[in-house]
Structure 1
Amino acid sequence: MSTGNTIPISDLITSRPYTSRSFLRECPERDPVQFPALWYYPVQAKAFTICSLCYNTIIHGFESGCGISFGSFTGTKHQTLFCMFGRPHPKYLYKKGDFLALRTFMASRTGLKVTTCHGLGGANANLSTTWYKPRNGEINGMVSCEACYEDYIAHTSFSSRFEKSAPQPAGQVWACDIAVPLIRRTLEACSEGARNDWRVFVAATTHRLKVPACEPYKERAAQSTRWFQPKDSLPGFIICEACYLDRIASTCIQGHFTSTPLSSGQIQHQKSLTCMLSYFPMAIAVQEVIFSENFQLWCEAAKIFMHEELCDGTARKGKSYTLIVKDGTGDADFNICQSCYTCCIDLFGFGSHFKQFDMKTHTEAGIAYSDWACDFYPTRYGFSKYMDALNEAVCVREFSVLGDFIARYQGVTQPCPRSTFVKGRRWYGTSDFSACPDCFEETIQGTALESMIVVRNQFKETECSCDIYSPSMRGIWKNACDTYDYAGFVELVRHRASVYWQTVPVMKRLLSQQRIRLMQQQTLNGSSMLYQRLDMSASASSSINYSGYSQPRYTYGAADVGYGYASTYGIEAARLGQQANNLVQSSRSDTTQVPYLEALWEAVE
């Protein structure tokens, strides 16, 4: 790997296979699809979803031979779907020609209590997941969820080496170890065909479970793990063992990397190191290079990444990339750094849709550009939505998916305000209702009634609140789209607004008054106690002892609080205490109204 001049990424991108919504570029075997795409299913087991890639490259043309009838449907936006055929077990049965067993498997697989692995995030005990483990404790601590056991183990010779685990204790979270990429790849390689290499699988899995996890974007002690680097020189580019094993080992690019033992001198000089694959842009680049099998593409992206300032999400000046707006109305309120542009945009052939400009300069009018932060940094608000749009654009080879989303979502930096009125935000909607950009994307965009929205990503200085945040309103919008009844939706929105103004402001006023009264009550009680102590002191200094009993020389009182106080302090203490009690009584009468008003609002919220 030369560290000289870089080759433009666009020159290295070869022609890609045709992809579309009816022919995905990759099988979503474990990474779900949440965008509209064509799916297939066996008529006998409609919940057994098959992606268009698997259907078109494996099944299509042989349907009659396998004796299985298939149907199709188009998934909806935000519907989470996996390809259940892309996993080893059904593929094994299909290639073997055992179609009776395949039909049985398809029907039984969709009947599991938990049909999808919860991945490295783990599953709570209340999900009642059935777990499997290696017999006799051969791999200490390893577990597989039932879904992964059926998909990756049950059809292999390794199935006899697993048994059901004891029930998951309440309160514990268990993560399926088949979700660890190296373990899954090793399982498939060692259990296939005549290889049946259980020892290698045990050794690899046992070792992987002991390797400390990568810490994204963080430095770690140099001696805390093993390190790897590219065989060709790329100074400073190092990878922790966990990332090497899960992202690179047993892939087409494994041969380009080597272990990097650190000498005692290096450890003393570099006490802490950061894994380069823990940075989001490089993680994306590795995935794409493995898919394209073009290692030089990764080399050039890595050179740029190492040469540029690290993406850290902080405000900065300097060069950024932004979207070229289709209608030429101006620059989008969207910025990404050089590293993210290279690895997330240019690497996928989308570079021509962006332009670079230097924000160290001034506009033609002499106004200085403000600082900017990369919108592709993981902690930036809206990051997950940008990534969903990028993933969809890549999977179906439609840049407009990402470009249109950026145009709609640009400038959004804060979450939905819900029913709270806020100033200085961007909004969608009509004269009857408003939706924040998040709720527009999640509920309205792409639906049958989207064309009714006339206000689009408009910045408003005036106060506004979101009307579409609640599950109830989202359901009402969906029903309106299903029946194409926009007038009915508007009628319900207006009724909701009427109830809001009759309840929420009143509740806020009552609760605010209650808080004020509580503070007043606390002040009055504190003052009353102070005067009580003063009264007790006055009583002690002016009392006469009669046969062992102390009594004040004089007593004080008033008609409103009674008599018998040792001083005027006692009268004041009693009056303050009385005022505090009166505040409590008045607060009780007001607070009884709040639950009633709250119930009215919640019924339409």
Structure 2
Amino acid sequence: MTGRGPEGLVLCSGCYCDQVIHTSEEDQWKVEDKFTDAYGIKVRCGMGMFNVMMAMARAREINDFRIFWEAVHKLSNEKFCDDDGIENGTWYTLPSDPPNFGICAGCYVAIAVPLDISRFFVPKRETQPAGTKWRCCFNLAHPRIQQFLPRLLEMYHTHDTTSFDKFASVYSSVPVCPRDQDAQNKHWYGWMDCTICPECYHDFAVRSPLATKMDLNNTLLETSAMCEMYSPRMRDLYTKCSETSPCDVTELLKYSVQRRLVWMQTVPEIRMMLFRAKMALNQQQFLNITSSYYKQAGMLQDINYGHTHTYGAAGVGYGYANENLLQGAIYAQQAAQVGSSVANGSAVLLVGHLEQQWRAVE
């Protein structure tokens, strides 16, 4: 469905039923035949864009759809809020201008303006370097979006930027915790035997007396490291060590070394086995598709031309009307063999056993 909005704005039938029907706006939309009757093309529903969805939500909330139409018309003149980022864009930020925080002009006109919070955003003073892409902090692909949205909602209800500003000033520049993934050339807190990522440090560890005893303080490590403090077990141990008098990190470091040893013995092997299984499933899918192609070609050949003799091969049997059917059977057998290797019971048991070992100390 398309409406009186800018060219290219369309809704799928599901979103039209959910968002437009019974709003008295039905006459503003019409069926877009060139998309409805088309095959082999992909069309993005307008409600699949967060800023358009927010403008519609605000219009429905106050039952004034002029807000929606004004927002989407302004949005059509701005650069698309791309998941990969925007090059040479126009950016807005909070008055304190937190580092690495900004929303694109599209989200400003379609989110901040309809929600009546545009006065809390100002043009970003920092100039975007040429050839670089910045990702909008209101884009759903942003790693902090799950934390930004509740604070956006709070700012909308309270008309107070304090919470949002305080959070953005710290976490906009802090990478997401890598958890049990190896990370290289990253900044770390803690100790060499117990590395803590910046997010877990600011979120948890900084409030402890142990924070003053750390050997690493936002230190860049070129070697591989993983965060230890995402784990509830490690956080409990960290808290216990900080409550001793005087606070002593010995027990924490001792357990962390043991934990890493178990990680090295289990997690890489689990990931390798899962990777092999994924590759095998992809191979099986390819073989099944190829088998179907040859079988279909063989059946059509037999229908159109018949056959005077049959084909066969050891392992797949005999009696196939033509070589295409035989080749299809060979590929089908190979797919079955790959599938049986993926579903190998011993491999499943081994993964489960290794996972139990890791979970016991994680």
CA distance in 1, matches of 2:233, 2:245: 12
Q: Of 80, 98, 111, which aligns to 1:344?
A: 111
Query: Shift in Å at residue 409 of structure 1?
Result: 1.4
Instruction: Mark the runs of 5 or more structure 2 residues left unpaired by the alignment.
Output: 269-352
User: Is the Cα contact below 8 Å between 2:89 and 2:104 reproduced in 1?
Assistant: yes
Instruction: For residue 400 of structure 1, report the CA deviation from its aligned partner.
Output: 2.0
How big is the shift at 1:308?
Answer: 1.5
Report the AA paired with residue 384 of structure 1. Q
3-state SS in 1 of match to 2:91: strand
Preserved CA contact (<8 Å) 1:430 1:453: no
Q: Does residue 139 of structure 2 align to residue 380 of structure 1?
A: no
Does the aligned pair in 1 maintain the 2:209–2:247 contact within 8 Å?
A: no
Q: Does 1:401 align with 2:160?
A: no
Secondary structure of 1:499's counterpart equals: helix
| 1:434 positional shift | 6.0
Which has more radius of gyration?
Answer: 1
Q: Which has the higher contact order (CA 8 A, sep 6+)?
A: 2
Q: Is 1:281 the counterpart of 2:33 in the alignment?
A: no
TM-score normalised by structure 1 residue count: 0.37
1:333 Cα deviation from its structure 2 partner: 1.0
- Tell me which of 254, 274, 293 is aligned to 2:24: 254
- Give per-residue Cα distances to partners, 1:92-123, cap 9 Å, x unaligned: xxxxxxxxxxxxxxxxxxxxxxxxxxxxxxxx
1:370 to partner: Cα distance: 3.4
Q: Distance in 1 between matches of 2:231 and 2:184?
A: 17
Contact 1:429–1:435 (CA<8 Å) still a contact in 2? Answer: yes
Amino acid at match of 2:253: A
1:348-371 residue CA offsets vs partner (Å, 9 max, x unmatched)? 333344333488766xxxxx5733
Structure 2 counterpart of 1:371, from 125, 133, 137? 133
Distance 1:439 1:500, change over 3 A: closer
Q: Provide the identity percentage.
A: 18
The counterpart of 2:82, out of the listed 282, 291, 312, is: 312
Determine the C-alpha separation between the residues in 1 that align with 2:185 and 2:35.
Answer: 57
| 1:295–1:421 distance in 2 versus 1, CA, 3 Å | closer
Aligned residues: 271
2:235 maps to 1:462: no
Shift of 1:322: 4.4
Q: Give the distance between the partners of 2:99 and 2:68, measured in 1 at CA.
A: 29
Aligned residue runs from structure 1 range 449-598, under 5 A: 449=207, 460-462=219-221, 465-475=226-236, 486-488=242-244, 491=247, 494-501=250-257, 504-505=260-261, 508=264
> Residues of 1 paired with 2:79 and 2:149: CA distance?
22
Report the counterpart of residue 301 of structure 1 in structure 2: 71
- Aligned-partner Cα distance in 2 for 1:504–1:357: 43
Give the distance between the partners of 2:150 and 2:228, measured in 1 at CA: 24
Question: Structure 1 CA distance, aligned partners of 2:54 and 2:6?
Answer: 19
* TM-score, L = length of structure 2: 0.57
Q: Does the Cα contact within 8 Å between 1:317 and 1:360 map onto a contact in 2?
A: no
Q: Which residue of 2 aligns with 1:236?
A: 8
Q: Describe the superposition over 1:326-347 as per-residue Cα deviations: whole angstroms up to 9, x where unpaired.
A: 3xxx751123221122233343
Cα-to-partner distance string for 1:505-532 (whole Å, 9 max, x where unaligned):
59749999xxxxxxxxxxxxxxxxxxxx
Aligned equivalents of 2:259, 2:40: Cα separation in 1? 62
Bigger drift between 402-411 and 351-360 goes to: 351-360
Looking at secondary structure, tell me which structure has more helix per residue: 2
In structure 2, do the counterparts of structure 1 residues 392 and 266 end up closer, same or farther at CA, with 3 Å as the change threshold?
closer
Match of 1:375, SS state, is coil
- Equivalent residue of 1:319, what SS? coil
1:281 deviation in Å? 0.8
Q: Which runs of 5+ in 1 are unaligned?
A: 1-226, 363-367, 513-594
Counterpart code for 2:107: C
SS at match of 2:178: coil
Q: CA deviation at 1:421?
A: 6.1
SS at structure 1 position matched to 2:153: helix
Give CA-to-partner distance per residue, 1:464-505, whole Å, 9 cap, x none.
Answer: 64332112234567x77xxxx943499575412123235635
